[in-house]
Structure 1
């Protein structure tokens, strides 16, 4: 579907809704698009055992709004709203992680488990990722794409990064500059 992925999980969540030069995309509009986004996050999020319900999508959209609000405030050096912080904490508390000892056939290993239903576990993991980002000193480096009308957020590995993706907005900006210089 073209979602920007590979950023910290909290930013990937925020980027599930974005205005791009191609139009508005939202991975939380339909169960199918959300399942596609979850599949892209397969190394970080467990897939759901059944298609997400309207209530599941609504809960993730609410969490996304709180995460986006908090990230925007914190990256600008402001205090996040108490409502956003409480929403994150409430989601994490609904399915907190805990270690359990498991015998793997040769030795004891520590596994991380969560109680709660699938939606609670998903929301808890997303909220936990947001807390990790919001408490990381690098959160102030989160940037918005400089592409026209693009609202994607990213954490640049290089300080000169300006676009969500060189293939998306970066290429469009370079092509537009080329045409402006040569057709000026």
Structure 2
């Protein structure tokens, strides 16, 4: 297993954030068809080594959507005792199923031991991934595994601003929302609620 990098945390979050608020009170999904997945993967070419030349098909789309459902379920578990994202509340997988899916996806990219032995050092075994079918799904899963097993998991929160369905990493102790716009919406909603109760 790779060591956690900032890219792992970002990649795991970005996968979860392919489910988002659509701006009209509903939920949008960036991964509704193979073209959407192809666009998303290619936009992550700096963190996904297999992104160049990637073209999604229905099987890849299905695998990534199953992985995303597992990741969002495990994110909901990670933010407990807080509430999960409103997008997930009614459709979380059983935790054991989410773990099974995540681990199965991570295993889709086999690794092989490679011996490095410099002239002035002891031999070292490193594990190198083997390129193949399912590599994008495996890299996404491995990033999620690394993130969920790291201390950064403790900073994961679900944003509960009106209409928001995002998860985010809490950057400072007073942060309550994923971004300033959500904080503004939450304050406006509280203001309207107080005035409604007074009137």
Q: Give the TM-score, by structure 2 length.
A: 0.68
Match of 2:19 in 1: 17
Q: Against the structure 1 CA distance between its residues 50 and 21, is the aligned structure 2 distance closer, same or farther, given a 3 Å change threshold? A: closer
Are 1:35 and 2:28 an aligned pair? no
Match of 2:101 in 1: 87
Q: CA deviation at 1:89?
A: 1.6
Q: Give the TM-score, by structure 1 length.
A: 0.72
| Partner Cα separation in structure 1 for residue 102 and residue 32 of structure 2 | 22
Q: Against the structure 1 CA distance between its residues 134 and 90, is the aligned structure 2 distance closer, same or farther, given a 3 Å change threshold? A: same
Q: CA deviation at 1:116?
A: 4.8
Equivalent residue pairs, number? 168
RMSD: 3.4
| Partner Cα separation in structure 1 for residue 162 and residue 9 of structure 2 | 20
Match of 2:137 in 1: 123
| Partner Cα separation in structure 1 for residue 19 and residue 72 of structure 2 | 10
> Equivalences for 1:100-119 in 2 at 5 Å?
100=114, 113-118=128-133
Question: What secondary structure does 2:97 align onto?
Answer: helix
| Partner Cα separation in structure 1 for residue 8 and residue 95 of structure 2 | 27
Are 1:153 and 2:167 an aligned pair? yes
| Partner Cα separation in structure 2 for residue 35 and residue 99 of structure 1 | 31
| Partner Cα separation in structure 1 for residue 111 and residue 174 of structure 2 | 37
Alignment deviations for residues 114-158 of structure 1 (CA, whole Å, 9 cap, x no partner): 22534x111111111111121113313211113212110011111
Q: Which runs of 5+ in 1 are unaligned?
A: 103-109
Match of 2:182 in 1: 169
Task: Indicate if the aligned counterparts of 2:161 and 2:186 stay in contact, CA closer than 8 A.
Answer: yes
Q: CA deviation at 1:20?
A: 4.8
Q: Which runs of 5+ in 2 are unaligned?
A: 1-6, 82-93, 117-124
Task: Indicate if the aligned counterparts of 1:133 and 1:139 stay in contact, CA closer than 8 A.
Answer: yes
| Partner Cα separation in structure 2 for residue 98 and residue 165 of structure 1 | 41
Q: Determine which of 42, 55, 58 is the counterpart of 1:51.
A: 55
